[in-house]
Structure 1
Amino acid sequence: MQALLNDIELDIQELKCLMEAVSRKPDSALREVAKRNIVQMRGRLDILLEQLDRGAIPENELPDRIINPMPEPVSAAAAEEEEIVVGNPEKDEEPVIVPEAPEMPEPEQLELPEVTVEPAQSAEVSMKIETNTASTPILAERIKTAGDLRRSISLNDSFRFSRELFGGSMEQMNHVLQQIGEMHSLDAALVFLSSKIKVEEENEAKVDLVELLKKYFI
């Protein structure tokens, strides 16, 4: 009989849990399980009723759980709701759910690849740069105006050159010097000068003017 009472007590607890689940979420499968539980518990109650008809059950044979019934267990869902709700439960306020702060991922460190320059390659590049620099004169030094050429000639030489080489015409001398100043090579300047003046090669004024042109173009 003690085992029968224990089974009935377990059936009652199981039925209470099933009814709570059905009330929260109506489901045909849960209702069928609850029905089977009720039929099973009714069969055991009928057996207990027959035993009572045959004779009274002494009080010492009843389990302590029937004499002193245990408090109803709190379902897991109700316990979770009590833990989640924050505030005064007596007020009709919506429960406040405190979310957990998400963990921020640590930023990844980007590794930059190391760039190495071979000594032979860098030396070759440096040699090419030096060669190009040495072989290519600065444009500002190559392009000189006729004014620079005329200013490089002193006043006394200007009168001497105009008198001995250009027949005393200062205007003609300045025009020739201006054209020579726009040239880019000494050879072109000497050929042009020879075409403009008709004097001997040993003429002292011509020799001095040629020396000035060499200093100007070199």
Structure 2
Amino acid sequence: MSIRFTRSLVAGFGVLVAVVVVLTLAAPAQAHNYLIASTPSANETLTELPPLFSVTTNGTLLNIDGNAAGFALQVRDSAGLYYGDGCVTVDGPTILTGAALGVGGRYTVTWQVISTDAHTVSDSFDFTWQPPAGFAASSGSKTVPDCHGTLKPNATGTPLGGATPATAAVDNGTLATVLWIGGAVLAVGVAVLVTILATSRKKPGGKA
């Protein structure tokens, strides 16, 4: 084996390793969903109660079982009381829940979704509630709402941080990512080897 061929092989291997690292780091980061809009919006002062609270992300959410397992949209006041029935609907990139609030004050919305890449994504934001005159305040609950104790299509009362039946979705997403990276690495590896072999054949009689 010539010195030139050995150097080419080492260089090609280095390129292959670099590609593997880039693909491994970039693929998961590009797939995560993130919030682009919500009702109410972060730090908004709400003066009228909308029919629904919602969180919209940048891409379609992974509602693999059709029952919103692993999704949640919770609203709490400054005293830690929960509002709403806990039922969540998944509509493409958006999750929604029926709106309910108590007396005026500061509230926190905490949301959780299954991202396009099958990873769980969650966050929270605050808003201020200034109810109109004559508003009938809802009674808050010290416990997480459970969607009336039932599991309906596209609705669940799964609390944040609890175990959810989304394990299969996560496993499938991880497998897909691994297969995608493996295929890309294989293609690059073949291309590098072909280039090295073609280069070495063009220079016969090289001295060792």
Q: Would you say same fold, with TM above 0.5?
A: no
- RCO comparison, higher one (Cα < 8 Å, 6+): 2
Q: Looking at CA atoms only, which structure, 1 or 2, has the larger radius of gyration? A: 1
Structure 1 or 2: more strand by fraction: 2
Q: Higher helix fraction: Structure 1 or Structure 2?
A: 1
Could you state the TM-score of these two structures normalised by the residue count of structure 2? 0.29
